[in-house]
Every structure is written in C-alpha cells, then in structure tokens.
C-alpha cells in the first residue's frame, strides 16, 4: 500500500496482536505497515494522526496495552519532489552553504496537505537550484527549522548536506539564539519570567497544540516586557526560546492568559472588552491583520562550516510597526 498518488486521507484500524503488549507504538505501527518507515510513522504520531479510545496519542514511545486498537489517519502525500517557483525572497544573507531569509506572514515554509506548493521551499528551489532537492529530505529540502505560516521573520536554510547537519545539530543542542517580538493581550505579571510546560497535541482538537500535564515534550519560553500600551490593555514583549516546539510561543502565552494578538486559534481574537480597552482605531487594525502579531526578529548561530558567529536582526514589518504606533497613541509606559 502506498499513498503517494492518493488524494484523500487513508484511515486504518490497527489492533495490538497477542505478544505485542508493552511494545512502543511507533514499532507496532511499523510492523503493521511495512511499506511505511518508522521515521514517517513517528512523525505521524507526533502530528496527531493516531487516536485510541477517543484520545489523540502523540508519544511514539508510548507502550501499547493488551486489547488496544488505534485509528491511524494517513494524509495524502504531497508531491514527493517539490518544484521551484518564482516567489520573491527577502534574502538577508547567503553564501555557498546557507541562506537566511526574512519570511513574510502568509508564506508556508514547506509543502504539506492543503499547501502543496507556493511555499518557501518552492521559492528556495527556484533561487538556489535543483541541488537543494537532495538536502535534508525530499519534501523539506534545506529546512532545519520552521516558522508558522502567519508568523513573520528570520529563517535559515541549508544549501549543502554538511551545512544541514551542522545547523540541525545546533538546533538540537539548543545553541541557536532566537528572539521574537510578540504583541499580547493584557499585561504579563511578572514583567519578565519563564513559561515552562510540556507541549503536545490537544486531546480535544488534534489540530491544536496545548500545555499537557501528562505527555507532550519539554518546552520553555523566556520573556521580558518591552512596552506596555495604555493602562495594560496590550503589551509588546520579547520571547526567547530554549526549546522549539510547534506553536510554542503562542501556546505558552495563551497558557498564562496573555495570548498573542490576532491569534484566533489560541484565543487572541478581539473580544468586546479587548476592543474597548485598546480603542476603535487599534481594534480595526487588529481585525485587518489576519495573522498573529508575532515576528522572529533575531537569529544567531555558528556558521556550520566556518564556525563564524553569525547574528541577524529584522525590524518589525510594516503591519506590526503600524500596530505598535496605533496602540501607542493611547499612551504607554515601559
């Protein structure tokens, strides 16, 4: 069985056979689906594609139990070989080994179901050439980290195999410096601190992430207040990541009741009280953002080949710079 040419999600029910009790979930699935790699199945589990007893299972290492069965949803595969597309790139830095771009909001990083093309990967292939195709995986050539579709800012991609390995190691070892500008609702207290909480798929909605009391993956976000708008209706903070989980900043800030402005997925929409607090003009602007007010403004790492320390900064894009100005018209402190 293959899904490379299918257009719809394939749903399978897999039961724990006698003698498999206590086995890892990803190994169980690999034994049952011999045409799928264990790496593929591990990612499928982490992405929320496996459900048991109404609960989404997101831990590949979870031990299976006697009598359990798992509903496995395998999404249709995108084109196994993304094609280059002439999509403008804001190149901040480029050399023979890597490229740093300033990604606009609205641009998906790599092809996936629902976004088969028109992505940053398609743009990178056109810009860097077909040699990028063989680096770091067929569907995500050159990609070593991601930004959400509606998050803007700095992203580095590898152009060679050694560079990909070196950059990936730095992200794994948490030696990459990353800072984000985030506009949030309300005034965080304390003004600076750390948010810790394991992040995994929400058991209620597998398309969302959540802070989990059980399971999930370790996550830590450090933040500091930069500007408080008005009497604390909104705040501009800087977030620095110690880990790199899916939607980490958005999930952590929502967890402490200060979601990112404009983030409709995690509670950052404009409610009546919020609208009243920031004023009509700012509320109108927030409604027109059509994205979360989150920007990756700092990226620092060691060049994976030369060892040179590289650091890049990106100013707020026009939409967020305007938001800061309009929010500031009501007075600020901080």
pLDDT tens profile 180-223 = 999 999 999 999 999 999 998 887 777 789 999 888 899 999 99
Domain ranges across the chain: 10-74, 91-173, 177-313+323-333
Q: Residue 272 is inside which H or E element, if any?
A: helix 272-278
CATH number of 91-173: 3.30.2350.10
Residue 212 is encoded by which pair of tokens? 């989990």
Residue 226 CA: distances (Å) to CA of 151, 235, 243, 325: 19, 8, 22, 14
Topology adopted by domain 10-74:
3.10.290
Catalytic residue status for 148: yes
Name the catalytic one among 97, 102, 148, 263: 148
For 177-313+323-333, the fitting CATH number among 3.30.2350.10, 3.40.50.620, 3.30.70.890, 3.30.2020.30 is 3.30.2350.10
pLDDT tens profile 44-83 = 898 888 999 888 888 899 999 999 999 999 876 655 678 8
User: Average pLDDT in the 85-91 region?
Assistant: 96
Please determine whether the domains at 10-74 and 177-313+323-333 fall in the same fold group of CATH. Answer: no
pLDDT for 80: 62
pLDDT for 8: 66
DSSP bridge pairs for 302: 309
CA torsion angle for 174, 176, 179, 186 (degrees, to 10)? -10
The closest of 188, 193, 312, 307 to 254, measured between CA atoms, is 188
What does pLDDT average to over the chain? 90
CB atoms within 10 A of CB 106: 12
Would you place residue 258 in the very low, low, confident or very high pLDDT band (cuts 50, 70, 90)?
Answer: very high
CA distance 56 to 195: 24
Would you say residue 2 has pLDDT above 80?
no
CB within 8 Å of 311: residues ≥ 6 apart: 177, 298, 299, 300
CA atoms within 13 A on the CB side of 280: 0
Percent of the chain surpassing pLDDT 70: 95
Residue 193 is encoded by which pair of tokens? 């601190």
Would you say residue 273 has pLDDT above 50?
yes
The pTM (predicted TM-score) of the whole model is 0.79
């Amino acid at each position: 069985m293959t899904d490379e040419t299918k257009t719809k999600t394939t749903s399978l029910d897999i039961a724990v056979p006698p003698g498999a009790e206590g086995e890892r979930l990803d190994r169980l699935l690999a034994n049952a689906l011999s045409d799928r790699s264990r790496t593929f199945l591990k990612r499928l589990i982490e992405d929320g594609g496996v459900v048991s007893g109404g609960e989404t299972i997101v831990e590949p290492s979870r031990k299976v139990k006697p009598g359990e069965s798992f509903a496995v949803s395998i999404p249709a595969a995108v084109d196994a070989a993304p094609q280059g597309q002439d999509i403008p790139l804001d190149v901040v830095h480029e050399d023979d080994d890597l490229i740093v771009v300033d990604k606009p909001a609205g641009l998906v990083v790599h092809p996936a179901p629902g976004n088969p093309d028109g992505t940053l990967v398609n743009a990178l292939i056109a810009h860097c050439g077909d040699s990028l195709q063989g680096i770091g995986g067929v569907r995500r050539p050159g990609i070593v980290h991601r930004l959400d579709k509606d998050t803007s800012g700095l992203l580095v991609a590898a152009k060679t195999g050694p560079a990909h390995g070196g950059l990936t190691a730095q992200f794994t070892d948490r030696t990459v410096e990353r800072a984000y500008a985030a506009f949030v609702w309300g005034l965080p207290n304390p003004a600076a601190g750390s948010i810790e909480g394991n992040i995994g798929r929400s058991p209620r909605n597998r398309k969302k992430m959540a802070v989990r009391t059980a399971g999930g993956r370790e996550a830590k976000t450090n933040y500091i207040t930069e500007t408080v708008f008005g009497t604390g209706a909104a705040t501009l903070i800087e977030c620095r990541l110690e880990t790199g989980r899916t939607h980490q900043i958005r999930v952590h800030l929502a967890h402490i009741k200060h979601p990112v402005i404009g983030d409709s997925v995690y509670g950052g929409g404009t409610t009546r009280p919020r609208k009243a607090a920031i004023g009509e003009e700012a509320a109108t602007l927030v409604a027109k953002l059509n994205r979360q007010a989150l920007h990756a403004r700092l990226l620092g790492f060691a060049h994976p080949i030369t060892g040179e320390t590289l650091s890049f900064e990106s100013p707020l894009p026009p939409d967020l710079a305007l938001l800061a100005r309009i929010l500031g018209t009501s007075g600020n402190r901080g």
